[in-house]
Structure 1
Amino acid sequence: MESSGEGSVHYDCWNESNINMNVEASESTTRRLYNRLCIGNTGIALKALGALAALVGIYFIGYVTGYYVHRCP
């Protein structure tokens, strides 16, 4: 077998205008939403508000339960 020389290997040149380097466009919607809401100062504020809402909910459930348990007959 005989090689046909240097011309037998073909290299394609990339056209730089056809390469999409936009990473955010390739991310899923849920990943972008997570990055926006759960990271940084916004994430800390949302976590604090969530904890406060959970505490208020637990307080309300305890209040209603205590009312019905301890009411006079």
Structure 2
Amino acid sequence: MEPQDPSVQYSRWDEVSVGAASSPEEAPCCDRLSRKLCSGRLGVTMRMLGGVALFWVIFILGYVAGYLVHKCK
């Protein structure tokens, strides 16, 4: 199945780029920011810090819930 318009490009992540808008310089600000924060060393660091923060949030919520369930009356 061939695309009818040769200026339309489909990537494997189901994003559609039309014509000259596919260049990285013309990408929307949030797309450029997400590419920068989610790839390379900075992306690995951000995911690691996010995982550690999520761990502590779940740990504190579990501690508080356990305290409230098991506290003496």
Q: TM-score, length-normalised on structure 2?
A: 0.65
Higher-RCO chain (CA-CA 8 Å, sequence separation at least 6)? 2
Superposed CA offset, 1:5-53 (max 9, x none) = xxxxxxxxxxxxxxxxxx3431111111011111000000000000000
The structure with more radius of gyration:
1
**Share of identical aligned residues, percent?**
35
Measured in 2, the distance between the counterparts of 1:38 and 1:53 equals 17
Unaligned runs of 5+ in 2: 1-22
Q: TM-score, length-normalised on structure 1?
A: 0.65
Q: Which residue of 1 aligns with 2:55?
A: 55
Q: Which residue of 1 aligns with 2:32?
A: 32
Q: Which residue of 1 aligns with 2:42?
A: 42
Secondary structure of the residue that 2:72 maps to in structure 1? Answer: coil
Unaligned runs of 5+ in 1: 1-22
Displaced runs of 4 or more, over 3 A? none
Q: Matched residue pairs, number?
A: 52
Between 1:42-51 and 1:28-37, the stretch displaced more is: 28-37
Measured in 2, the distance between the counterparts of 1:35 and 1:69 equals 43
